[in-house]
A and B are shown apart, each in its own frame.
Chain A
Amino acid sequence: MESAISLKHVTKTFGPVVANKDVSLDIYKGEILSLLGENGSGKTTLLNMIAGIYYPDAGEVLVNGKPVEIRSPKDAFNLGIGMIHQHFKLVDVFTATENIALGLDSKEKFDLKAVRKKAQEICDKYHFEMDFNQKVYSMSVSQKQTLEIIKVLYRGVDILILDEPTAVLTPQETEKLFAVIRNMKADGKSVVIITHKLHEVLEISDRVSILRKGEYIGSVDTKDADESILTEMMVGKKVELNIDRPEPKDTIKRLEVKNLSVVSAEGVEVLHDVNFDAFGGEILGIAGVSGNGQKELLEAIAGLQPVVQGGSVKYYNSDDGKGDAMEVIGKNPRIIRRAGIHMSFVPEDRLGMGLVGSMGMTGNMMLKDYETGKWFLTDRKRPKNLAEQIKDELAVVTPSINTPVSRLSGGNVQKVLVGREIAAAPMVLMTAYAVRGLDINTSYTIYDLLNQQKKKGVAVIYVGEDLDVLLALSDRILVLCGGRVNGIVDARKTNKEEVGLLMTKLRKEGEKSE
């Protein structure tokens, strides 16, 4: 097989973080290659170097056997390389046509009509639908992705890189995308897909290359691969997900969510009539394709998201699960705390919401109770002690408890955040993607912490993306699909297929599971 692109001993660092270490990788002509790896394994960084966004610290890149220097995306285009980034690179206030015309070679006459005509031909060929006068800000996610694909096809690329293209797509849209990719392959183009979803890898690709912690592990032909082989390569040793799951005991109702609906700022209903209970002493897993209302659900419960009139979240303080229920909706986080509602929340965006990046551990410990200090002053001593304690107990690696937390590695940042939330002695603990981007060891530390909380009688709500973990850790799993509760299943009795189906296919009204 002839190589379209060869990477040789490529290394890239960001400050102290080594994103790619001595990676050598080939992309063959006319193949669909999956680049597989866990979050944080350096997949995106690696391909960003081919696309001209990053420049490698060491190593070389060969295109069609010749060494090249890709210093900018323009260089990449000239070499026939196009990338569709996970966060779309589109200008919001421009129309589709304007976005396509952006940065095109200036030798031709500037003629938006001609651009549109040529783009329409691409649409016809690949069966896309696109309103070329529509502004990007009014497009749906899948429309934006279609536009991105048209953009690179328009430039006539030979090598197309797609970064997590299916993360935000529905199953139908994913199928459509795969059909397009196969079409491109038939046209003789090379396609690289960055993903961490095994079933997609097996479905679409000819070959799989695996990265782990920034290093190249190896490649296998898809026909010789199965999920267990790939998993092993991806995470190292063969993982028996050996997550402890104690039997829930003395479960009592802690949280009762009723008729919860949320409408986003753009006027889209992102949560529709959600109902469920969470019990102390159990872990309630929440599954769903990302962007199906998980974030809004937790934020609504935490008092960060306005909800549609009529929704209610009741918190039961007493130990018999009856009597004095407190309404959470309508209160902001501070009022919730002051009302004596012991609820902790580990948000998805750790440094952008859960922590203050420029502050050290000490400063971050105060985030939720700085107002308890005397008079108008903050109490420095208690947070300092707490920071020391968390640093010791969770083995947080940091030069000092006053080092800005933004300088810590992802795992240590999460330890600081989870440590603080648990130290608040919650009765309800919500976590969103608590192990995203963490290595296996830290992930297990987090699972253990959650199980400890469960044994203490805390109601734990765990929003996750890895179904295997959800199935092994949770007691019950609530599946969200399109902002609706598409089923609540017993994690001990269900299987991946059932949950997977619930995630992607909305049940008809009236059907019941459980």
Chain B
Amino acid sequence: MSSLIAWIIRAIPFGTIIMYGAMGETVTEKSGNLNLGVPGIMYLGGFAGFASAFFYENNVANPNAFVCILLTLVSGIIASMLGGLIFSFLTITLRANQNVTGLALTTFGMGVANFFGVFILNGSAYSAAPFANSVYIRKIPVLSNLGAVGQTVFGYGFLAYVAIVLAILLHIFLNKTRVGLNLRAVGENPATADAAGINVTMYKYLPTCIGAGVSGIGGLYYVLDYNSGIWATTGQIEALGWLALALVIFTTWRPLNAIWGAYLFGVLYWLYQFLPSLLGFTVASYVTDLIQMVPYLVTIVVLIVTSLRKKKENQPPANLGLAYFREER
């Protein structure tokens, strides 16, 4: 039982990281832009968030929790939105190939984060922002002490709950609002949207930049909460970024599915550690390496199944990955 609880406590924060990444990318993809730069964007968001926290708490005698959250969130979101802006300008205005631009953005984002990250590290293997971490992991008082339920349901930092709320809001936004309807139309058929008087350029720029901002929160959450407020030069965020892309496919572009999908991915990701102990046997560490592929395998299965079923509503936005030029003949 205790290892099941431990499993859930690990899985949900993990899911939260990629839920942000996936929700951002869903918004982006709904506008018809396939941004393979998610890992780079999550790096940017994570690093900017960490850097602002680091400087804030090292330069202020009595750091304030609210200011800390505001500062880190704003800088993390702005940094990742700038990443989205680069992507938007190149693919929407200059009509560069989206796949290639996305990959270049991943290289770039990773480079920027780690390059400046090394300055902060200043020779050591890692550096930390303990105050910001303490703010981000602050649990819900009282409720989180209510035994197993308290631990598994109420025992997380506030961003884990914001993610769920955001997923619901996103669902409402995409399906119940005028802007959401217009946005989906742009991703499905920009020529139609254009003919209906929708400003296609704006409807691609904004979702791509805002989507990048949301994805960036995933990186920020990873550094300041999940990774205990520690910045180190590792490739972990990159892998998480690709997993977020996988999650978008897994959810068939539906934010509500992202909630349980993300947690499922979290459960699958931590499968290697908790399943054996739950079942009462130990496995060699090389087997755990193999188990790590499970989320990706599951995504492939989903990809194949949706392509087999050919249900129109489960397909990617019809114009995903293509540039739009009105005067195309």
Contact = CB atoms under 8 A, between A and B. Distances in A.
Contacts of A90: 189, 192
A94 interface: yes
A102 interface: yes
Using C-beta atoms within 8 Å of the partner chain, give the interface range for chain A: 20 to 34
A109 to B, nearest CB: 9
Interface string B160-176: 00000000000000001
A53 B178 contact: no
B181 interface: yes
A276 interface: no
Contacts of B57: none
Interface string B166-200: 00000000001111011011001101111111110
A145 to B, nearest CB: 14
A92 B181 contact: no
Interface residues of B, number: 26
Contacts of A14: 327, 329
B189 A98 contact: no
A51 B195 contact: yes
A91 interface: yes
A98 B326 CA distance: 22
B318 to A, nearest CB: 7
Nearest to A45: B329
B289 interface: no
Contacts of B315: 93
A98 B174 CA distance: 12
A332 B194 CA distance: 40
A74 B312 contact: no
Given A91-B188, A92-B188, A102-B181, A73 B195 contact: yes
A381 B178 CA distance: 60
Contact of A98 (B181, B198, B312, B327): B181
A149 B247 CA distance: 40
A125 to B, nearest CB: 22
Contacts of A103: 182, 185, 193, 196-198
Contacts of A83: 195
B189 A72 contact: no
A135 interface: yes
A98 B184 CA distance: 11
Contacts of B326: 53-54
B234 to A, nearest CB: 41
A190 to B, nearest CB: 19
Contact of A102 (B198, B312, B327): B198
B258 to A, nearest CB: 19
A77 interface: yes
Interface string B118-132: 000000000000000
A140 interface: no
Contacts of A92: 188-189, 312, 318
Interface string A140-162: 00000000000100000000000
A406 to B, nearest CB: 11
A53 B195 contact: yes
Nearest to A111: B178
A427 B315 CA distance: 45
A101 interface: yes
B198 to A, nearest CB: 4
Contacts of B197: 72-74, 76-77, 103
A104 B181 CA distance: 10
A89 B192 contact: yes
Contacts of A77: 197
Interface in A70-90: 72-74, 76-77, 83, 85, 89-90
Contacts of A151: 196
A102 B188 contact: no
A106 interface: yes
B181 A89 contact: no
A169 B191 CA distance: 23
A72 B193 CA distance: 11
B192 A93 contact: no
Interface string B301-329: 00000000000110100100000001101
Nearest to A105: B197
A93 B196 contact: no
Give the one of B178, B189, B193, B313 with max A CB within 10 A.
B178
Contacts of B178: 101, 104, 106, 110
Nearest to B326: A53
A135 to B, nearest CB: 7
A102 B199 contact: no
A67 B20 CA distance: 49
Contacts of B329: 14
A151 B195 CA distance: 11
B195 A85 contact: yes
Contact of A72 (B185, B188, B191, B194): B194
Interface in B194-230: 194-199
Contacts of A94: 181, 184-185, 188
A351 to B, nearest CB: 12
A9 B193 CA distance: 29
Contacts of B318: 92-93
Contacts of A137: 312
A137 B310 CA distance: 13
Interface string B4-39: 000000000000000000000000000000000000
A203 B38 CA distance: 59
Interface in A52-67: 53-55
A92 B313 CA distance: 10
Nearest to A12: B327
Give the one of B179, B191, B197, B312 with max A CB within 10 A.
B197
A53 B329 CA distance: 11
Nearest to A90: B192
B327 A93 contact: no
Contacts of A93: 188, 312-313, 315, 318
A81 to B, nearest CB: 11
Interface string A443-455: 0000000000000
B192 A102 contact: yes
22 contacts: A53-B194, A53-B195, A53-B326, A72-B194, A72-B197, A73-B197, A74-B197, A76-B197, A83-B195, A89-B196, A91-B192, A91-B193, A92-B189, A93-B312, A94-B185, A98-B181, A101-B178, A101-B181, A102-B196, A103-B185, A104-B178, A135-B312
Given A72-B197, A102-B198, 15 more contacts: A14-B327, A14-B329, A54-B326, A72-B194, A77-B197, A89-B196, A90-B189, A91-B185, A94-B184, A94-B185, A98-B181, A102-B181, A102-B185, A102-B193, A103-B193
Interface of B: 176-179, 181-182, 184-185, 188-189, 191-199, 312-313, 315, 318, 326-327, 329
